[in-house]
Chains A and B, each alone.
Chain A
Amino acid sequence: MRRIYMDHNATTPLREEVLEAMLPYLREEFGNASSLHHFGIQARRAVERARETVATALGAKPREIVLTGCGTESDNQAIKGVACANRHKGDHIITSRVEHKAVLQTCEYLEKHGFRVTYLPVDAYGVVNPDDVAQAITEQTILVSVMFANNEVGTIQPIAEIARVCRERGVPFHTDAVQAVGKLPVDVKALGIDLLSLSAHKFYGPKGVGALYVRQGVRVDPLLHGGHQERGRRAATENVAGIVGAAKALELRLDEMAAEAERLMALRERLHEGIIAKIDHVYLNGHPTQRLPGTLSLSFDFIEGEAIIMGLDLAGVAVSSGSACTSASLEPSHVLLAMGVHPGVAQGSIRFSLGRGNTEQDVDVVLEVLPGIVERLRAMSMFSPENPYPEEMSRGQKHWRGEEVA
């Protein structure tokens, strides 16, 4: 069976050229970048070249780039690092309700340690209002963190406007740009961003490498202590091969980004239009236009998303769910709930995220198999247009095991 991968927001395949660039550093150039001999110097040069590439790609200076172990680590360091370094100035952090868990749960952790966090609402498309940011900022605010583009629905935030509000009030602004870098133009100076997280495996680089941009002058404590690496901002022996791969992947991606964005947007629209032409009771999640080029999140009424994913997987098509059914909580996606999507409808959502390998032919395969899967699952469901979800069914309802659904 030919397998079609449409889950590029989860991860992407490593490019062949990237693997080739990494291999020498897994073989003969194995040195520790902190060593003073030939092997160490070779590794150091590779790391610093990579840092320059990443900095150039973001419009930053090399010394403003901290190389990390993943996007989650970058988010953790940005938020905990700024919070710890600025505790004497205030205890208030502002973020949004649609952030990735790497941001949300880091903020929740800080709340346990005495910080106060404001979780800003979003509109029906998942957009944060910059005016809400301005209103939430107080004398005690030490950080604003709003994602660049949402991983589940693809909505792009008004980053420049939010950054401007923060700059005017003198509050550092962090953005989780894990889904944006490699898909959208990102210039930290032009946008006025103070801290930015990225992850290499989202743009055809290796897993286990991320980066955090920290504007010169912004104070950030390290998460990892125990060495001088990364100018004292991250103690750890550098993952040289991974770092080289990340830089190579970013460089290659930027060359093709504009053309790829156009191509993916056309594929995405072909997929979307094909689906709504063939299937009733389908809704788009996320902003109609201000959205990542390859992301298409849809809700299918009367059925559950994971069951659709299973059907598609058995037909050779890999997609993701917006629903958090695999987690023990059973709650629907926090992103869709924040956008005001009905909880039952939210459970019926799936996310297509298209990427480099996808073709029109792939889209047509999905359009061929999906209607049958949806029809079959709807025949199994007790819900239908004649028998819709109960109106009163909403948040606060008792779970079947007697637990409160938050």
Chain B
Amino acid sequence: MSEFGWYTEKVIDHYQNPRNLGELEDADGVGVVGNPTCGDMMQIQIKVRDGRIEDVKFKTFGCGAAIATTSVATELIKGKTIEEALQVTNRDVMDILGGLPPVKVHCSLLAEEAIRAAVEDYRSKQGESDQ
């Protein structure tokens, strides 16, 4: 992606065919980041079994890049352990998409944050149930 380029084929593909779109009925962790005032809001839900993310779903209010980065984020963590999911960075998301225009890099950061928020939510709920 050149500095002046716009969306790659990969971004368009994820925008048109988002992976893991929707909601889980019995999520173990939910991460919601961003807000509509800024034009981007993401929700990632995870279902965890034996420390591994068994299922994941997302919803996004935002531009094409916001939709694509959340979609990629869910692909990156599905089937991974909680620890592995926390290793995922916005760089990984960007690499899969073949880059983003500079003004859209924040979407990949938000997607990374959504993963962490979902995991943190899962962990805090685990903590509660242990008590």
Q: Point out residues on B near A: beta carbons under 8 Å.
A: 7, 12, 15-16, 18, 21, 32-41, 43, 59-64, 66-67, 103, 106, 109-110, 113
Contact = CB atoms under 8 A, between A and B. Distances in A.
Interface stretch (A62-70, A193-201, A319-327): A319-327
Contacts of B34: 400
Contacts of A347: 36-39
A307 B36 contact: no
The 10 closest A-B pairs by CB, nearest first: A344-B36, A306-B63, A343-B37, A310-B64, A382-B59, A330-B38, A347-B39, A325-B39, A381-B61, A400-B34
B37 A332 contact: yes
Interface stretch (A31-39, A222-230, A238-246, A389-397): A389-397
The DSSP consensus for interface residues of chain A is: loop
A381 B16 CA distance: 14
Contacts, number: 88
A383 B43 CA distance: 11
Contacts of B7: 310
Interface in A311-342: 311, 314, 323, 325-328, 330-332
B38 A394 contact: no
B59 A381 contact: yes
B59 A400 contact: no
Nearest to B60: A380
Contact of A306 (B60, B64, B110): B64
Contacts of B38: 330-331, 347, 399-400, 405
Contacts of B67: 307, 380
Interface in A145-163: none
A389 B103 contact: no
A239 B110 CA distance: 47
Given A328-B103, A381-B61, A397 B35 contact: yes
A302 interface: yes
5 contacts: A307-B62, A379-B21, A381-B61, A382-B41, A397-B37
Given A347-B36, A382-B32, 16 more contacts: A303-B61, A304-B39, A304-B61, A306-B64, A310-B15, A323-B39, A343-B37, A347-B37, A380-B18, A381-B59, A382-B61, A393-B37, A395-B37, A397-B37, A400-B40, A400-B110
Contacts of A314: 12, 16
A380 B63 contact: no
A324 to B, nearest CB: 8
Interface in A363-406: 379-383, 389, 393-395, 397, 399-401, 405
